[in-house]
């Protein structure tokens, strides 16, 4: 990056310049006397609060005001006359605003030229209004005081509501953190809601540059973890060159100077973890950034950085576990002259059917990891039986069937959910829906769903694969056989789901082909 003028941050100790225009506070004047509207607008025309001016809306009756308030929810202050169409028109409208429109944010200041019509004590007690003034006493000084008080209250109420909404949405986002890609959903939701919580109108993105320890990623590569709607198209960016010029420059400067940077309308948060990972938060704001907002944004930057680092480690452990299971299962399959592709297809087909069944994504992933363990018990079966080309005699078949119980025995002592699920699958993947399977002769839903799913996936993949004792069937013939066994060997609902997702199943044989497999025959 070359020219600091492209993104010129003010020094951190300098006060930020205010933008020329901020979103004004909306004030609704409700009065049947045009002169009241004119005087109020004239007297308060140059008023500013928290850097924002005023925008006046005008209604000359309670009915007109009612229409305005039904159409918009951003009115900060309502200056409301009491006597208009009727002697209590203003009071009736005040009650309707609170009770019917359920508007508790707008500040209501009653103004009356006939105080006897609506005594102050009764009105304050009976109506949810915020101030009561006689028109004769409203000098410019008192009007200014009234505006300051009302707008300050409105600002604080809106901030509390935004905070509550932001907290609720952020808590909801937390549940996705353990899903695949959950950190992106979590960080994006928090980023979006943080802007709302602080009352900031803006857009931005959050990126991370991982260190060498995270083997799941390339060292030094930039990953955009979070983005507001305006930047959502950059979620796959992996290099500075993929980002807009202003963002490139901001990130580059923050990394060079090793600190957060800000000016009135832009913020770049910089955070380096103890492991050397760098997190960068970019915000392009429509309003200047206050000190409190800056502090919260930096806290966000730091916390998401630490969370992401933890999730990278978690992902690394999960990937290691998954690969270990596949390598172990593949080694077992090679004893019967099969390969790792078989267990990979079983894993993916089982996950596909589980998702189609409607299982939660966490259970789908657990099944994907456990399914390859279905034939682990074959380690207890002699090699000559596993590679025998002819039909097994009764004693040999009994020995072969023992692999289901052996696999269960090897895995069931573990307290790890994946291995315990693998134990159940190993024991049940040769059971049949009609109860004619082994080793327990279970039937119907007495067989676990995981066992029923892997049973179908294993038979289909075995049919379409070459074995020492048979040649592979073509895909359509194998599927026809599976369908013919609906309600006999297989769960009828699972057979129907298989038929509904045949294209996705076919794709598995292209993605995970055997070394001698001709994938084009399935297309």
Indicate whether 517 pLDDT > 60.
no
Task: Give the pLDDT score at 98.
Answer: 92
Determine the pLDDT at residue 136: 74
Counting residues of the chain whose pLDDT is more than 70, the rounded percentage is: 76
Rounded to an integer, the average pLDDT of 250-275 is 83
Could you tell me if 150 and 107 are in contact, meaning their C-beta atoms sit under 8 angstroms apart?
yes
Least confident of 140-154, 300-314, 487-501: 300-314
Given a cut of 50, is residue 72 above it in pLDDT?
Answer: yes
Query: Residue 229: which pLDDT band, with cuts at 50, 70 and 90?
Result: confident
Helix (H) or strand (E) holding 498: helix 492-500
Q: Which of 26, 35, 25 is nearest to 135 (CA)?
A: 35
Query: What is the reported pLDDT for 220?
Result: 57
Give the pLDDT mean for 284-292: 71
CATH for 335-522? 1.10.3210.10
Check pLDDT > 60 for residue 498: yes
**Would you tell me how many other CB atoms lie within 10 Å of the CB of residue 58?**
18
Measure the CA–CA gap between 370 and 128, rounded to whole angstroms. Answer: 62
pLDDT digits (tens, 9 = 90+) for 157-187: 988 887 777 666 555 555 554 444 556 666 6
Kindly report the average pLDDT of the chain as a whole number: 80
The DSSP-derived string for 194-252 is HHHHTT--EEEEEEEE--TT-TTS-TT-EEEEEE-GGGGGGTT--SGGGS-HHHHHHHH
- Identify the residue whose tokens are 């986002």: 173
pLDDT value of residue 264:
67
The domain 164-313 belongs to what CATH superfamily?
A: GAF domain (3.30.450.40)
Each domain of the chain, given as residue ranges in start order, spans 25-138, 164-313, 335-522
What count of Cα atoms within 13 Å lies in the side-chain half-sphere of residue 116? 0
Task: Report pLDDT for 18.
Answer: 38
State the Cα torsion 451-452-454-457 to the nearest 10°: 170
* pLDDT for 269: 83
Question: Which tens digits make up the pLDDT trace of 89-112?
Answer: 999 999 999 999 999 999 999 887
Read off the pLDDT band of 27 (50, 70, 90).
Answer: very high
* Confidence band for 5, pLDDT divided at 50, 70 and 90: very low
Q: pLDDT of 302-344, one tens digit each?
A: 777 777 777 777 766 777 677 767 666 665 666 555 656 888 8
> What is the structure's pLDDT at 149?
94
Band of pLDDT at residue 12, cut at 50, 70 and 90? very low
pLDDT per position as a tens digit, 341-369:
888 899 999 999 999 999 998 899 899 99
Question: Are the CB atoms for 307 and 280 separated by under 8 Å?
Answer: no
SS3 content of the chain, % helix, strand, coil (to 5): 55, 15, 30
Question: Which of 160-174, 212-226, 283-297, 506-520 shows the lowest per-residue confidence on average (mean pLDDT)?
Answer: 212-226
pLDDT at 492: 97
Strands (E), 21-134: 25-30, 54-59, 75-81, 107-112, 131-134
pLDDT digits (tens, 9 = 90+) for 396-445: 889 989 999 998 998 898 888 888 999 999 999 999 999 999 999 999 99
pLDDT of residue 19: 42
Q: Identify which of 459, 460, 428 has the alpha carbon closest to the alpha carbon of residue 444.
A: 428
Catalytic site residue from 133, 135, 378, 391 = 378
* 378 catalytically annotated: yes
Grade residue 196 by pLDDT with cuts at 50, 70 and 90: low
Domains 164-313 and 335-522 share a fold: no
What's the rounded Cα separation, in Å, for the pair 168 and 158?
15
Q: What is the pLDDT of residue 494?
A: 97
Type and span of the H or E element at 261: strand 261-262
Name the CATH architecture for the domain at 25-138: 3-Layer(aba) Sandwich (3.40)
> What is the Cβ-side half-sphere exposure of residue 519, based on CA atoms within 13 angstroms?
12
pLDDT at 10 over 80: no
User: Strands 107-112, 75-81: parallel, antiparallel or unpaired by DSSP?
Assistant: parallel
């Amino acid at each position: 990056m070359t020219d600091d003028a492209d993104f010129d941050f003010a020094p951190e100790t300098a006060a930020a310049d205010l933008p020329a225009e901020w979103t004004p506070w909306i004030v609704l004047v409700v009065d049947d006397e045009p002169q009241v509207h004119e005087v109020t607008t004239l007297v308060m025309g140059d008023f500013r609060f928290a850097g924002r001016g005023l925008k006046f809306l005008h209604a000359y009756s309670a009915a007109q005001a009612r229409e305005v308030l039904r159409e918009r929810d951003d009115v900060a202050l309502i200056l409301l006359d009491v006597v208009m169409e009727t002697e209590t028109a203003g009071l009736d409208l005040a009650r309707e605003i609170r009770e019917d429109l359920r508007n508790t944010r707008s500040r209501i200041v009653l103004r009356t030229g006939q105080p006897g019509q609506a005594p102050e004590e009764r009105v304050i007690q009976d109506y949810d209004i915020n101030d009561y003034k006689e028109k004769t006493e409203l000098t410019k000084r008192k009007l200014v005081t009234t505006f300051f008080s009302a707008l300050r209250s409105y600002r604080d109420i809106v901030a509390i509501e935004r905070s509550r909404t932001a907290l609720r949405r952020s808590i909801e986002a937390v549940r996705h953190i353990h899903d695949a890609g959950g950190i992106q959903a979590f960080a994006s939701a928090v980023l979006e809601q943080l802007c709302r919580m602080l009352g900031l109108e803006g857009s931005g993105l959050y990126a991370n540059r991982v260190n060498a320890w995270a083997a799941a990623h390339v060292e030094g590569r930039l990953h955009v973890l979070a983005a507001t709607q305006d930047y959502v198209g950059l979620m796959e960016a992996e290099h500075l060159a993929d980002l807009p010029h202003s963002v490139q420059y901001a990130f580059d400067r923050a990394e060079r100077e090793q600190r957060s940077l800000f000016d009135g309308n832009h913020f770049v948060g910089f955070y380096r973890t103890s492991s050397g990972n760098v997190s960068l938060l970019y915000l392009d704001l429509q309003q200047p950034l206050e000190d409190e907002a800056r502090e919260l944004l930096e806290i966000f930057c730091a916390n998401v950085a630490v969370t992401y680092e933890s999730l990278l480690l978690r992902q690394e452990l999960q990937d290691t576990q998954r690969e270990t299971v596949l390598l172990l299962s593949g080694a077992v399959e090679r004893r019967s002259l099969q390969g790792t592709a078989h267990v990979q297809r079983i894993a993916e087909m089982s996950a596909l059917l589980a998702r189609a069944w409607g299982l939660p994504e966490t259970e789908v992933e657990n099944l994907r990891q456990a399914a390859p363990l279905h034939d682990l018990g074959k380690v207890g079966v002699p090699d000559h039986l596993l590679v025998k080309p002819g039909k097994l005699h009764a004693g040999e078949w009994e020995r072969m069937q023992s692999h289901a119980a052996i696999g269960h025995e090897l895995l069931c002592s573990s307290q790890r959910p994946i291995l315990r699920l693998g134990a159940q699958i190993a024991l049940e993947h040769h059971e049949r829906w009609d109860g004619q399977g082994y080793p327990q002769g279970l039937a119907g839903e007495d067989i676990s769903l995981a066992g029923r799913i892997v049973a179908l996936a294993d038979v289909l993949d075995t049919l379409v694969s070459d074995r020492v004792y048979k040649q592979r069937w073509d895909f359509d013939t194998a599927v026809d056989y599976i369908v013919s066994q609906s309600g006999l060997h297989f769960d009828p609902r699972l057979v129907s789901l298989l038929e509904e997702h045949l294209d996705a199943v076919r794709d598995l044989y292209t993605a995970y082909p055997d070394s001698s497999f001709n994938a084009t025959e399935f297309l």
